[in-house]
Structure 1
Amino acid sequence: MDSKAIAAVWGEDLSATLRAPDLVEECAAAGARRLQVNVGDDSVAGAMRIDELDPPIDAVVSVWAADLAPVLDVLAGRVARLAAWEVDERAPLDPVLPADGTRIEALSNVAFLRRPGDLARGDWLHRWLDEHTQVAIDTQATFGYYQNIVGRPLTADAPAVDAIVEELFPMAAVSDVHAFYGSDGEQQELERRMTRMLESVSRFGADRHLDVVPTSRFDFVLG
């Protein structure tokens, strides 16, 4: 059975590096059955980002494999720095997407969340997964929504992260807040959605100490 890892990546020219055919082939040879590359590029320039880590995350790579370590070793050899975590994925919104390495027509926001120290893990998971999920779907124009609970770090220098969320938005959301929230240009509805969303995320600490990386997404099914 495949496990999933998500890696934060730092380096130069990562859009080309992480999608290079020889790297994809090498990951497949190392045992990867699927590879997802999320990288900041010109297509999402101008989208809002939030940086808790210094230096900021440049790209995010997700890997599915029976043995994650060999694939992460391949990736680490091509970038300046890589920090990875094993995760358990839930997908409340999981559309059928191209898997041939072409760009997904979307703004893909990847958020790295941290549990507040005064909130027990069980309560945090309940507030996030059981209470917040439908609020996020109802108040935003997302058409893809992936919740990844961090199980353990896979690299020695991995920063403290408790969850990693990916949300897919229409491309117009890069520069249009109404497109982001799905409020159809109605200011009152926009304010209602924003208020409800902020109230919900604040209940489990996702209104602070987080990284939000706007990216373009590329999927590769390898076997």
Structure 2
Amino acid sequence: MEKLVYALWAPEGESRADFGVRLVAQLPAALKAAGARGIRLNVRDAAVDAAAGLVQHWQAPQQDAVAQFWLPSANAHFRGPVDALFTDLGGRFAAWLVAESTILPNRDHPPRRGERTWGWSQASFLSFRPDLPWDEAVAHWHGHHTKVAIETQRNFEYVQNIVVRALTPDAPDYDAFVEECFPAGAMTDPHVFFDAVGDEAKFAANLGRMMESCTAFLDMGRIDIIPTSQFDFACLG
């Protein structure tokens, strides 16, 4: 099995909110019928409007939703029925083959079929610094930054996906896709986000460690970070 990540844009004339509702209602069953498994959708809806201040831009327009799932093969010949589904949605899409590493599984607030997962999900499309060799960037990410992200944040799910290759010709040149889930309060309160409620010294230390680690391996001008509502359909098979 291979994991695929699709970035999705709403068709012209359809609002982001309406697009998200349509995705959640129609896409999981259609993807399953096309052979996908472990299906998860991340949509930018009203539930995450409060996190607008956390958005970071590279692409314009920016992604409206993300679909993650597994297929027996990402080979273009076998992927055809899946790509046809995304074409039929009417908007732009871009896709990547990724290698997943689940750092923190969601044990505290496990998702339920068809329901919005508790809290919210930060979906991050990331690019490594161009002045770093790829293996050095990955070594920092895996060997240093992973520990920092766990120790400085109030994340209850943390999944890293390293990009193996782009699957569509116009896919932005990202190196990784990361999903982290946080309590709702982290959308507006950085002290909640950095696990330092009531402790200014801890907040300053956690924020400083995180920023120092991020800038050590990421190209901060080529990232797209979006707040989303997570809908997990892994129970479909």
Deviation by residue 1:194-223 (Cα, 9 ceiling, x = unmatched): 011111111102544211010000011222
Q: How many Å apart are 1:26 and its aligned residue?
A: 1.7
Q: How many Å apart are 1:142 and its aligned residue?
A: 0.5
Whether the 8 Å contact between 1:38 and 1:218 is mirrored in structure 2 is: yes
Equivalence for 1:202: 215
Q: How many Å apart are 1:60 and its aligned residue?
A: 0.8
Moved more, 56-65 or 69-78: 69-78
Alignment of 1:1-223 (within 5 A): 2-11=1-10, 12=14, 13-20=18-25, 22-47=26-51, 48-68=54-74, 69=79, 70-96=81-107, 97-205=110-218, 207-221=220-234, 222-223=236-237
| TM-score, normalising length: structure 2 | 0.89
Shift in alpha-carbon separation, 1:9–1:27, aligned structure 2, 3 A: same
Shift in alpha-carbon separation, 1:128–1:5, aligned structure 2, 3 A: same
Shift in alpha-carbon separation, 1:23–1:209, aligned structure 2, 3 A: closer
Q: Which protein is richer in strand relative to its size?
A: 1
Tell me the secondary structure at the aligned position of residue 202 of structure 1: helix
Whether the 8 Å contact between 1:112 and 1:165 is mirrored in structure 2 is: yes
Tell me the secondary structure at the aligned position of residue 63 of structure 1: strand
The one-letter amino acid paired with 2:121 is S
Distance in 1 (alpha carbons) for counterparts of 2:145 and 2:212: 10
Whether the 8 Å contact between 1:31 and 1:67 is mirrored in structure 2 is: no
Aligned-residue RMSD, C-alpha: 1.3
The one-letter amino acid paired with 1:130 is G
Q: How many Å apart are 1:64 and its aligned residue?
A: 1.1
The one-letter amino acid paired with 2:41 is V
Tell me the secondary structure at the aligned position of residue 114 of structure 2: strand
Q: Which protein is richer in helix relative to its size?
A: 2
Tell me the secondary structure at the aligned position of residue 165 of structure 1: strand
Q: How many Å apart are 1:175 and its aligned residue?
A: 1.0
The one-letter amino acid paired with 1:142 is N
How many pairs were matched up?
A: 221
Instruction: Give percent identity, aligned residues only.
Output: 39
| TM-score, normalising length: structure 1 | 0.94
Distance in 2 (alpha carbons) for counterparts of 1:183 and 1:79: 43
The one-letter amino acid paired with 1:51 is H
The one-letter amino acid paired with 1:117 is P
Whether the 8 Å contact between 2:130 and 2:219 is mirrored in structure 1 is: no
Distance in 2 (alpha carbons) for counterparts of 1:182 and 1:79: 40
Distance in 2 (alpha carbons) for counterparts of 1:185 and 1:72: 48
Q: How many Å apart are 1:99 and its aligned residue?
A: 4.2
Whether the 8 Å contact between 1:169 and 1:180 is mirrored in structure 2 is: yes
Moved more, 132-141 or 186-195: 186-195
Distance in 1 (alpha carbons) for counterparts of 2:20 and 2:37: 20
